Structure formats: C-alpha cells, structure tokens
Amino acid sequence: MSRPDNREIFVGLMSGTSLDGVDVAIVEFAAASPRLLHFATVAYSDDLRDRLRQLTAIASVSLDDLYSLDAELGDLYAACVSESLAQASLEPRQVTAIGCHGQTLRHGPGARRPYTAQIGDPNRIAAQTGIQTVADFRRKDMAFGGQGAPLAAAFHAALFRVDGENRVLLNIGGIANITWLPADPRSPVLGFDTGPGNTLLDQWAQRHLSERYDADGAWARSGQIIDSLLEQALSREPYFAAAAPKSTGTEYFDLGWLERFVDDASAAADVQATLVELTVQSVAGAISTLPARPATCFLCGGGAHNGWLRERLATALSGIRVATIAELGIEPDAVEAAAFAWLARERLAARPGNLPAVTRAQRPAVLGGLYLAD
C-alpha cells in the first residue's frame, strides 16, 4: 500500500483505568483532518485483569509482580499492534510510530512528591513490531509541576474545537474528565477530571452481579436513588469541590471509598442507581463551573454506551445538547487511543503535547520518551 509523502500513519494504544483491555487506533494524518483507518479493542483475560486490579488496589506491590507484568503487557501491546496492522492490510514499515499510554497503576498528583506510574514495556513493543515507539507521556508534564492529566485535551482542541460554538467533550472511562472548547479562539482550553466515571459502577456490578459491568445501565435503571447516600458522597468528598486543574484515579475512588458512605442495609440495585447519579451530578457540577454554558456535550469512552447514564446526563444538563462524539466523525471508544497516536506525532515533531491551563504545568512541554526499534 503506497501513500503520498505528506501522509503519515501512527498507531495509538490506550489501556484505561477500567481495566477492560487494550484499545488500538491506526490513524492517518494528512493536511486535512486525521482519518481513523482501523480500531479494535482487545479484552484483557480474566487472569490478567485480576492481577492488574490487585496491583492497583494494594498499598505495596512485589517488584517481581510489577516488572513481570510490565514485560507481559509490553508483549501483549506488541501483539495487538501486529494483529491490527494485519487486519488493516498494513505493514510495519508504513507506520511512522506507535504512541503507547500504558496501563496506569497509580496516579498521585497530590502526593508529597507527585508521581504517576504506567506499565507496558515500550522497548518490547518497538523490538517486536519493528516500529519506533513513544511512551511515558505523563511524567514530563509532572516534572514541570503539572498534574500529568488529562492529556487528551490538546488532541480534543486540535480536532474538535470550532469558532463560534462552546463545546464540552466528556470522556467517561474509569474516571470521567471534561475538555472545555470555547467558542472564542482567544480563550484557553480547559480540562480536568470530574471524579468517578465507570469505576464504582463496574466494581459494584462485579461484587453483586459477578459481571464486569452493568450492561446499558439496566440494573441501575431498576433501582431507586438513595438521596442521603448521594448527598453525603457529594458533600463530604473534598475532590468535588476542589478547584481545577485537578486529576484523580481509580485507586482513590474505589469500593473502600464507597464504603465510607454506603449503608449495608441498602439494596444493591439502589446503590447502583445512586452511583450513576453520582457520576452524573459530579459531571454536571463541573460543567457548571466553566466560563460559559456549552451548546453541546459530546460523549466518548465506555460510558457513552450506557443508555441509562446518557439519559440521566441529558436530564441533569437541561438546555445542553448531549450527543456522542460519533457525530464528529470518530467512534466514542477510539478517541483516547487516537489521542496517543496524535501525541506520538507531536513528540516526533518536537511540539508540546500538554496544555498548561489544563494540567497546571509551568510551561508547554514535549511529552514522551522515544524507543527505537533497532
């Protein structure tokens, strides 16, 4: 397959905090808007998911477990790239680079020495695919005083900002985050994590249904919101009232966090209904702090497939149109992986990949380390 010299193909890999698996996006960049050539999600095995969840949940980890998983994920990511290239009828030599986010185990922007930790050895990805790989995107931003997140905001701004229309992009992964794209091109793009997205919903469903998630929010739809639980969670958790920029992680919003508020006598379905409302109300509260009211809220991430969550959002965001980002030409599940293909491209061009107004970094920075294939 030949292509004009002004076109470049990048692969983006994203493993989100929901621990679902690996998203692979193959993106062609040209003078016009990028084009998604291929997208696939490769689910983690139950065994791998359980081992990753254990590492994210416990306070200390075995170095053997940590570095063994780092290598195992590097091998898996490489295999996912090779399989996706075959499905897209592409050869490794046609790909400029891979951008790999890695699997987050810890994200501690509020620690005494702020840190973030992702695994998935990029050396193994580059060696096994024969494609140079960019990884470790977040720590440079943190080195300049930033939160290291959210990083997709710069990609959102490059692709989806339009003059004359205020927009919000809402990504609902394990953690939910928003990107504010103002109508005025002179106004800064903003973005931050709003709090839990799917993480509490998924963990509660796993505990009580033995299912990975509550499909389409059907179980939550059957329950009743527990007003006292919702009020306590929103009012007693300082993260929701904290000023942006801010970021958080699933190691903070976990079932241990929930158990501080939930009454053991509450029906499990009612708790699930309340957790949907917690995501909805924390998102709505965050959007209410933006400089102006958006015309549209575009959804991406796994939560975009939860019908009950979408309905509740539409109610809470009365007067704001709620749509999925598919309306803008990219499927909701592919956005984050495509963002890391774009960030790899920015790294090779020596262009900054962060937005200081979003991450709180002292200055724009070129993000990511480059791992050569030879």
Provide the H-helix boundaries in 161-302: 199-209, 218-222, 227-236, 238-241, 255-258, 268-288
Instruction: Say yes or no: 156 and 19 in one domain.
Output: no
Evaluate whether residue 34 is within a structural domain. Answer: yes
pLDDT at 30: 84
Domain encompassing residue 192: 152-328
Instruction: Say yes or no: 171 and 190 in one domain.
Output: yes
Evaluate whether residue 2 is within a structural domain. Answer: no
Instruction: Say yes or no: 320 and 221 in one domain.
Output: yes
Instruction: Say yes or no: 162 and 307 in one domain.
Output: yes
Evaluate whether residue 1 is within a structural domain. Answer: no
Q: pTM for the complete prediction?
A: 0.91
Mean pLDDT, residues 215-229 taken together: 97
Q: Which of 29-38, 158-167, 214-223, 349-358 has the lowest mean pLDDT?
A: 29-38
Q: Note whether 170 and 299 are within 8 A (CB).
A: yes
pLDDT at 351: 97
Instruction: Say yes or no: 65 and 182 in one domain.
Output: no
Number of domains in the chain: 2
pLDDT per position as a tens digit, 325-361: 999 989 999 999 999 999 999 999 999 999 999 999 9
Which pLDDT band, with edges at 50, 70 and 90, does 156 fall under? Answer: very high
pLDDT at 3: 46
Evaluate whether residue 198 is within a structural domain. Answer: yes
Mean pLDDT, residues 11-15 taken together: 97
Please check the confidence at residue 96 and state whether its pLDDT lies above 80.
yes
Instruction: Say yes or no: 167 and 138 in one domain.
Output: no
pLDDT at 251: 85
Q: Which of 88-92, 131-135, 302-306 has the lowest mean pLDDT?
A: 302-306
Instruction: Say yes or no: 113 and 174 in one domain.
Output: no
pLDDT per position as a tens digit, 159-177: 999 999 999 999 999 999 9
Which pLDDT band, with edges at 50, 70 and 90, does 36 fall under? Answer: very high
pLDDT per position as a tens digit, 243-260: 999 999 888 999 999 999
Instruction: Say yes or no: 346 and 298 in one domain.
Output: no
Which pLDDT band, with edges at 50, 70 and 90, does 4 fall under? Answer: very low
Evaluate whether residue 183 is within a structural domain. Answer: yes
Evaluate whether residue 304 is within a structural domain. Answer: yes
DSSP assignment of 82-110 equals: HHHHHHTT--GGG--EEEEEEEEEEEETT
Instruction: Say yes or no: 28 and 177 in one domain.
Output: no
Instruction: Say yes or no: 132 and 200 in one domain.
Output: no
pLDDT at 5: 52
Please check the confidence at residue 1 and state whether its pLDDT lies above 60.
no
Instruction: Say yes or no: 215 and 240 in one domain.
Output: yes
Instruction: Say yes or no: 305 and 166 in one domain.
Output: yes
CATH code for the domain of 156: 3.30.420.40
